[in-house]
Structure 1
Amino acid sequence: MFVGYIERRRSPLDPVLRSLVSARIAQLCHCEFCIDITSMTLAARSGAGQAAGGRRLAQQYAVQRKERLALAYAEAATQTPPAVDDALRSAMAAHFGARALTELTALIGLQNLSARFNAAMAIPAQGLCQIPTSSSQNKE
């Protein structure tokens, strides 16, 4: 139900941005299943065919300041404990506004819950999107 709300058409967040943030969190949490499904969704929404793995994901899609900020915010909020500082929070508020920032924060929390749960349960990738092996990701 909550996922449906975040993924609705009238969301203040662009679908590609939502997918980009979700894919990055999946990577940070080392969730094979989440990387698989969020990469597939990102590739479909962005028209990229296959999403890149590792840090290339951010470099490939984050061409706008708004996307780079959203990724920085997602990375900071995903740390344990969360490491969102006042400067980042102010930049986010200036670029997104209260409604979009609240929704982005909810998305980050939901994706963290999902990715951490699935990683803890060792839910494997399902072959939905081509994922580079860990040896190729370490070369980045």
Structure 2
Amino acid sequence: MPSTFRIPAAPMEGPLARVVRAVARRTYGQVPDIVPVMWHHRPLLRATLAHERRIARWSALDPHLSSFAVMAAAAPIGCTWCLDFGYYLAHDAGLDEAKVREVPRWRESDVFTPLEREVMAYAEAMTATPPTVTDEQVAALRSALGERALVELTMMVAVENQRSRFNHAAGLASQGFSDVCALPLAAPAPSAGASAVGEPR
């Protein structure tokens, strides 16, 4: 299903637009739909891109755990664009596709380790409205990961909530980035999204 663009895509004209389109196509094969939406507010777009470049340099958390957490946060919000792009980024980083593809239905899947499941449960608990994080969850992750990686994990989930909620509200949907992956992205489990955003199953 293509993006519905609740916030319409802005015309991207001029030299800067040509550079942005060229860089996006060279990097991702196409221009992400979020770019023409944010083009309405170019200072915000520049700030977002700079922030994302800094986030990409964080390294305290294992990249698989980071990818699992980000996608586990995006799934209950219903951001298909984020899941599609997240799977593509995991593929591009050489992560285990057989595991990454299972994140949308991680509770029903048997491919994840206990720690990976704890990380995704934490991401879902942070994403719930209101959040349902417990002292026990944080203590277990602190013991397994250490404070530095736990802080990074927590911020990654918070950042993904910002991304997913913006993209969902803007009407962005999967663009087919993950078509390059050898395995298709698994479909989310029924009603998973309603539970995590605070609605009854």
Moved over 6 A (4+): none
Higher normalized contact order (CA 8 Å, seq sep 6+, divided by chain length) = 1
Report Cα offsets for 1:80-136 as digits up to 9, x if no partner. Answer: 1111111111111111111111111110000000001100111021111244667xx
Contact kept, 8 Å, 1:23 with 1:42, in 2: the verdict is no
Q: Give the alignment of 1:1-140 within 5 angstroms.
A: 1-8=50-57, 11-44=59-92, 45-48=94-97, 51-52=101-102, 54-56=104-106, 59=109, 61-63=111-113, 65-129=114-178, 130-131=184-185, 138=190
Contact kept, 8 Å, 1:36 with 1:125, in 2: the verdict is yes
Contact kept, 8 Å, 1:24 with 1:57, in 2: the verdict is no
Gaps of 5+ in 2: 1-49, 179-183, 193-201
Gaps of 5+ in 1: none
> What's the CA shift for 1:40?
1.8
Contact kept, 8 Å, 2:61 with 2:149, in 1: the verdict is yes
Change (3 A) 1:132 1:33: same
TM-score of the pair, normalised by structure 2? 0.58
The RMSD of aligned alpha carbons is: 2.6
State, as a whole percentage, how many aligned pairs show the same letter.
30
Larger radius of gyration: 2
TM-score of the pair, normalised by structure 1? 0.81
